[in-house]
């Protein structure tokens, strides 16, 4: 089983534009990967309903995950299990969307990273 499409809201799209400008990262999928990792590092699950809104960005799972798509899927499944959520297709899609949105929100915050060095420092600090 795999996720076919990753859909994000117009609000997330606007935040991605900001992050792209700040960090110099050219591709939204790369920023979304960072956002996902930042979010799953949080101990609490994201709130349901925080990723609702007008459609804005759509990418394939392969575009999101790249050569590490299987690893991201494993991380997502593990996080769902840790949060007491099912790992069926619909639950995985919803959880992924919530984590990416939460991570984008953290990164796009005014006190979020202002350049690529701060982005890397943020993630290294969270993991370390």
Domain boundaries, the chain: 5-127
pLDDT digits (tens, 9 = 90+) for 25-38: 999 999 999 999 99
Whether CATH 3.30.870.10 fits 5-127: no
Q: 127: part of which helix (H) or strand (E)?
A: helix 116-127
> Does position 99 have pLDDT exceeding 90, yes or no?
yes
Cβ atoms of residues 103 and 35 within 8 Å: yes
**What's the rounded Cα separation, in Å, for the pair 56 and 7?**
8
**What's the rounded Cα separation, in Å, for the pair 117 and 42?**
21
> Does position 62 have pLDDT exceeding 90, yes or no?
yes
Q: Which is more confidently placed, 119 or 40?
A: 40
Mean pLDDT of 65-92: 96
């Amino acid at each position: 089983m795999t996720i076919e499409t990753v859909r994000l809201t117009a609000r997330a799209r606007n935040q991605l534009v900001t992050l792209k400008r700040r960090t110099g990262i050219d591709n939204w999928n790369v920023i979304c990967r960072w956002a996902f990792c930042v979010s799953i590092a949080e101990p609490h699950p994201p709130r349901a309903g925080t990723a609702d809104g007008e459609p804005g960005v759509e990418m394939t799972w392969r575009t999101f995950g790249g050569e590490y798509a299987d690893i991201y899927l494993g991380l997502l499944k593990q996080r769902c299990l840790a949060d007491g959520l099912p790992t069926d297709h619909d639950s995985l899609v919803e959880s992924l969307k919530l984590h990416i949105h939460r991570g984008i929100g953290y990164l796009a915050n005014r006190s979020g990273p202002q350049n690529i060095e701060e982005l890397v420092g943020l993630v290294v600090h969270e993991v370390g």
